[in-house]
Structure 1
Amino acid sequence: MSTTLRAHRRPARRRLSDPLFNAVTFAILSFAIVAVIYPLYFIAIASVSEPSRVYEGQVWLWPVGFTLDGYARLLGDPLVWRGLGNSVVYTSLATFISVALVVSAGYVLSRRDLPGRKTITFLIVLTLFFDGGIIPKFLVVRDLGLLDTVGAMVLPSALAVWNIIIARAFFETNLPDELREAAEMDGASDFRFFFRIAVPLAKPLIALMIVIHIIWNWNGFFDALIYLSTPDMYPLQLVLRNILVQSNLSGSGSLTGDLGSYEEAQRVVELVKYAAIIFASIPLLLVVPFLQRFFTQGALLGAVKN
């Protein structure tokens, strides 16, 4: 009898505890969402609000003193649009090259019949712990004649070791040796097996790598800061950096050169800073959400063994 009563009481306890657990979980997740989204939302409303109202703490949930002066000055500068075009070119080329190298290297290292496989893997992983530093990298890029070229923005960081490890784990998990042996019996060469079988099966992995490299290359500005000296070749993020640090919209004129007072100049500087952040974030906000499911699927397939 007592056992029967305890068996009936347990579901009741679970029913009483579930709403509390759900409420706590909902509260924690809601706080996390607000903590992530609100800063970007605040920048968005601050970009169309009077800076004096922002300084006074009047801008919280909606714009105060609506104005589009910051966007008008930002979008009126040709260097901003040139930087946007440069970023699209650099990101596209770098992503294509990086994904091709990562998938190829990951597949090769997953082959158990590769001579010296362990040694090659060790040498590649070793680079995660030891790095030559900025100066040796700059000297190599300079000696190769890549300074102030598109190659400087694409080649130095084209191959990420951690992504190779992910790709290797993916192929080891999802591409059994029996499949390759069967293809060899049918007369398929290594190249044909790679392009006709391995690559189609690696679509989730490729999508994962595309998302990672798009975000990485679009947000990167440090390589451009080191390797580029011509303003016309600057990517958008470096243009944004110059706006935030130097308050300068272009190399030809100052942000506040046509303004008559210091107060008006500072007002425009603040508006442009907020507008530049939003302008640089819009492309990723439009692209990445549509690739999110591929990102999750690829990450799981590359990390979980059957």
Structure 2
Amino acid sequence: MKIRKSFGEKVFDVSNVSFLILITVAAMLPILYVIAGSFSSSNALIHNRVILWPVEATLDNFKLVANNSTFWKAGWMTVQIVVIGTTVNMVLTMITAYPLSKMDLKGRKFFMLLIIFTMIFSAPIIPSYLLVKNLFLLNSIWALILPGAISAFNMILCMTFFRTVPDDLFDAARVDGMSEYGMVWRIVVPLSMPIVMTLLLFYAVGHWNNYFGPLLFINDRNKQTLQMYLYSLIANGDSDSTAGAAAEGGIKLSPVAIQMATIVLATVPVVLIYPFLQKHFVKGALLGSVKE
């Protein structure tokens, strides 16, 4: 039976939809402008003729960025951090969430109190820097991985999801002589793929977009990440030298065009990965946020 909505409910729905459309348009306009500018000629950008569609479409901007060894070196550094960091994050998060998901664990409330405390009170910048420095981790990828090895919020999501696994499965596994670690990797993880994929996306995107960590702990220019490279490209005008090199090769490109092309290339990997994890992401975020 279809329930007819009142006039007030219809007005409310129309207002919500209109508001969400406005928010979506406001969020998409800068993205569309950068994409259009990356495919436009420098002449069109200089004369402000680019709005939401490429003008005098060209691939010269991307060709120049693709031939820049510094871009690929920064990208490779970022890929290493994402792969190693996400692996460390996932392993530590799951082996922490599993025992805390057991209500009969001795000292569980104490450990949960310590974990929640870190969500409310985080370490200041200077003590964090001194700790990393005293551990001789400056200018290494471990300085960007170990301080945030476990996210308390993600761990709580994972712990809540693990509670949905039936206890009968664990009892049967114990009867068969399976160890606790075996139950984690052979029972809990396969049955918890939605939350695993969700946290995988959270951690991977967090490492990929990490800017403050490299800014604080990485001083070696040869070890800069992709986000630091983008910062130097935009803020310090490093694209001027790139544009000059292009001009010597007979290509006239503006620094703005190079910046936009670099931003698009740096964003593409995350955009390509998300659709494959979307269904797991939605299910994992919903189930992991429901408390018993």
> TM range, normalised to the smaller chain?
0.7 to 0.9
Where do 1:1-306 residues align within 5 Å?
14=5, 27-50=18-41, 53-54=44-45, 57-172=48-163, 174-248=164-238, 254-258=241-245, 268-305=254-291
Q: Deviations over 1:111-159 (max 9, x none)?
A: 1232211001101110112222122112221222211122222222121
1: distance between equivalents of 2:174 and 2:226?
48
2:262 partner letter = A
The 3-state SS of whatever aligns with 1:255 is helix
Task: Check conservation: 1:86, 1:235, Cα contact below 8 A.
Answer: yes
Cα offset, 1:281, TM superposition: 0.7
1: distance between equivalents of 2:291 and 2:180?
24
Q: Deviations over 1:218-246 (max 9, x none)?
A: 11122112222222222211111110111
Task: Check conservation: 2:64, 2:246, Cα contact below 8 A.
Answer: no
Residue 7 of structure 1 is matched in structure 2 by none
2: distance between equivalents of 1:238 and 1:231?
9
TM-score using structure 2 length: 0.86
1:289 partner letter = P
2: distance between equivalents of 1:47 and 1:122?
49
Cα offset, 1:179, TM superposition: 3.6
Task: Check conservation: 1:244, 1:273, Cα contact below 8 A.
Answer: yes
Q: Report the count of equivalent residues.
A: 289
Q: Which moved more, 1:50-59 or 1:283-292?
A: 50-59
TM-score using structure 1 length: 0.83
Q: Deviations over 1:73-132 (max 9, x none)?
A: 322210101111111111111111101111111111111232211001101110112222
Task: Check conservation: 1:69, 1:268, Cα contact below 8 A.
Answer: no
2: distance between equivalents of 1:182 and 1:91?
37
- Structure 1 segments unaligned to the other structure (5+ residues): 1-9
Distance 1:111 1:75, change over 3 A: same
Task: Check conservation: 2:194, 2:283, Cα contact below 8 A.
Answer: yes
The 3-state SS of whatever aligns with 1:280 is helix
Q: Which moved more, 1:67-76 or 1:205-214?
A: 67-76
Task: Check conservation: 1:69, 1:271, Cα contact below 8 A.
Answer: no
Q: Which moved more, 1:145-154 or 1:208-217?
A: 145-154
Task: Check conservation: 2:45, 2:257, Cα contact below 8 A.
Answer: no
- Structure 2 segments unaligned to the other structure (5+ residues): none
CA RMSD of aligned residues (A): 3.0
Q: Which moved more, 1:149-158 or 1:78-87?
A: 149-158
Cα offset, 1:283, TM superposition: 0.8
Distance 1:38 1:256, change over 3 A: closer
Cα offset, 1:50, TM superposition: 4.5
